[in-house]
Amino acid sequence: MNYLPLTEFEQDKLRFRNTSKSIADFLNKFPNNQPYSIAIYGDWGSGKSTMLNFIEKDLNDKNLVLRFNPWEILNEENLVPTLFEEIAFAIGTDKYKKLRKKLFEYGRKICTTGTKLASKHFLQNNGVDEDASDTIADFNSEVVDSLFNSNSPKPLSKRKKELEIEIQKWAEEENKKLVIFIDEVDRLFPSEMTEIFKIIKATISFPGVVFVVAMDKNSVIDSLKSVGITRPDEYLIKLFQQRFYIDWNYQLRTLFEEILIPSIQTFDEDPKNSLLRAINACIFQKKENQFYLKESVQFRDTLRTVYYNIYNELRRHLSIPRNFINYSYYIKSNWEEYYSEIKDDKFEETRDDIIIFLILTLAYIEPKYVTTNIIGSRHIPDEIKNGISSLTKQIRFNLFNSFFNESRTSSNANPGAYHIHYDDQIIRKTVQVIKRYPDHSN
């Protein structure tokens, strides 16, 4: 599983099919004389397209599937008519010429009606008075009408009813329903997104038409707010009768097992074993691979909590599959080279495995903190410390500061005083190798 979206069940290591099959089973049993709409919510890269692929594979032949990606449509004004053209093309046969014609007409009529409303909304928001905005909006709508040749006096409600009858006829005669998958809605501009939702609203009563829409809910809500929809959650609830959420929180260990660890088996033995020890310590929480400077039970228990807190922070940052795939490429591409440069005769196996792994991981997640005066410094001013991330604090102050004993040397200038030292050059060396500061090579 080195790329997304997945297309084959055999590639499914994150159990997408547990959910996808239940959705497909529901759709297979759903009658073809009723409309329905399903939302699949998930963050970017969480596997929404994979979910659609798996649902489609489990649908039976009583479902006519149409995949529609609005991101591929170059012009906003083409979104609505293009979808209705796609539906007409999917239905296909000459037997349903009347249905296809009505699909074209209805899609174009929605487009011209939408042009008028959108023009009026835009003009009034930009200071044009109501009478003037009405006049300009009517003109814009008439222009689009003339382009699409859809200026029949027949009202939209009449067209809709006629189309419902023809779709019902098709569904009954073919013993099918139309399942429309829409993906990548959250990548659209807000105005384009509302066009997609307008399509769903306009067809929500069509018998035997089912929408399955995959999107990042947070992005969609932000976009809906930006176009003046004050209660976007309620808006979405009215559009979608059923909602599924892709939960990516508890799968980081599976991602390591299925993606990163298999990909490093060709490494030379030393760097491979070093990376595996670090993964076991930080991700799988194996005590035998974790470093403890002191043997006391209290010290070890405290540090065990730190290791676990770091794991939870990493889980929050890396558990989205697409992000983890990018992270695994980063680790795989850099580990052997960095390891060979950093390792020297002072290298302490278990401890320094963890240090290199966590600093390199931090360089992927939060590179701005991988500097000699932040992650490379044992003591930093409070004004800087207060501004750094929780993950960086856990790694630097709670873990790394517990890895090294202090040593003291007397002060020649001030008898009785002494200097405290920590033999933690490995941290700064790792930062310098990763960042490759030009001055450090001189």
Architecture of domain 9-245: 3-Layer(aba) Sandwich (3.40)
339-350: average pLDDT: 91
77-105: average pLDDT: 83
CA atoms of 437 and 442, how far apart (whole Å): 10
Which tokens go with 340?
A: 């060979």
Which tokens go with 289?
A: 């691979």
pLDDT, residue 115, reads 43
Which tokens go with 118?
A: 């959108």
The model's confidence at residue 1, banded by pLDDT at 50, 70 and 90, is low
CA atoms of 32 and 174, how far apart (whole Å): 10
Q: Whole-number mean pLDDT of the chain?
A: 85
pLDDT, residue 438, reads 67
Residue 312 has pLDDT above 90, yes or no: yes
The model's confidence at residue 403, banded by pLDDT at 50, 70 and 90, is very high
pLDDT, residue 112, reads 53
Buried b (16+ CB within 10 A) or exposed e, 398-409: bbbeebbeeeee
Q: Are residues 397 and 377 in contact, defined by beta-carbon separation less than 8 angstroms?
A: no
CA atoms of 360 and 290, how far apart (whole Å): 17
Is residue 412 classed exposed, middle or buried when 0-12, 13-18 and 19+ CB atoms within 10 A define those classes? exposed
Residue 216 has pLDDT above 90, yes or no: yes
pLDDT, residue 11, reads 87
137-144: average pLDDT: 40
Q: Are residues 279 and 216 in contact, defined by beta-carbon separation less than 8 angstroms?
A: no
Strand pairing class (177-182; 209-215)? parallel
CA atoms of 265 and 242, how far apart (whole Å): 43
pLDDT, residue 137, reads 38
CA atoms of 77 and 145, how far apart (whole Å): 12
Higher confidence at residue 67 or residue 437?
A: 67
CA atoms of 438 and 442, how far apart (whole Å): 7
The three state secondary structure string of the chain is: CCCCCCCCHHHCCCCHHHHHHHHHHHHHHCCCCCCEEEEEECCCCCCHHHHHHHHHHHCCCCEEEEEECHHHCCCHHHHHHHHHHHHHHHHCCHHHHHHHHHHHHHHHHHHHHHHHHHHHHHHHHCCCCHHHHHHHHHHHHHHHHHHHCCCCCCCHHHHHHHHHHHHHHHHHHHCCEEEEEECCHHHCCHHHHHHHHHHHHHHCCCCCEEEEEEECHHHHHHHHHHCCCCCHHHHHHHHCCEEEECCCCCCHHHHHHHHHHHHCCCCCHHHHHHHHHHHHHHCCCCHHHCCCCCCCHHHHHHHHHHHHHHHHHHHHHHCCHHHHHHHHHHHHHHHHHHHHHHCCCCCCHHHHHHHHHHHHHHHHHCHHHCCCCCCCCCCCCHHHHCCCCHHHHHHHHHHHHHCCCEEEEECCCCCCCEEEEECCHHHHHHHHHHHCCHHHHC
pLDDT tens digits, one per residue of 21-55: 999 999 999 999 999 999 999 998 899 999 999 99
Residue 131 has pLDDT above 60, yes or no: no
Least confident of 62-71, 195-204, 262-271, 287-296: 195-204
Higher confidence at residue 181 or residue 436?
A: 181
Type of residue found at 88: A
Residue in the structure block whose two tokens are 């109501």: 130
pLDDT tens digits, one per residue of 148-199: 444 556 777 888 888 889 999 999 999 999 999 999 898 889 988 988 898 8
CA atoms of 138 and 115, how far apart (whole Å): 9
Least confident of 203-207, 371-375, 391-395, 410-414: 410-414
Residue 155: cis peptide before it, omega within 30 degrees of 0: no
pLDDT, residue 346, reads 85
Q: Count how many Cα atoms sit within 13 Å of the Cα of residue 340 in the half-sphere of its side chain.
A: 7
Q: Are residues 207 and 168 in contact, defined by beta-carbon separation less than 8 angstroms?
A: yes
CA atoms of 76 and 67, how far apart (whole Å): 18
52-59: average pLDDT: 96
pLDDT, residue 410, reads 64
275-294: average pLDDT: 96
Residue 45 φ/ψ, nearest 5 degrees: 80, 5
Is residue 344 classed exposed, middle or buried when 0-12, 13-18 and 19+ CB atoms within 10 A define those classes? exposed
Which tokens go with 259?
A: 């993606």
Higher confidence at residue 389 or residue 132?
A: 389
Q: Where in the chain is the domain with CATH 3.40.50.300?
A: 9-245
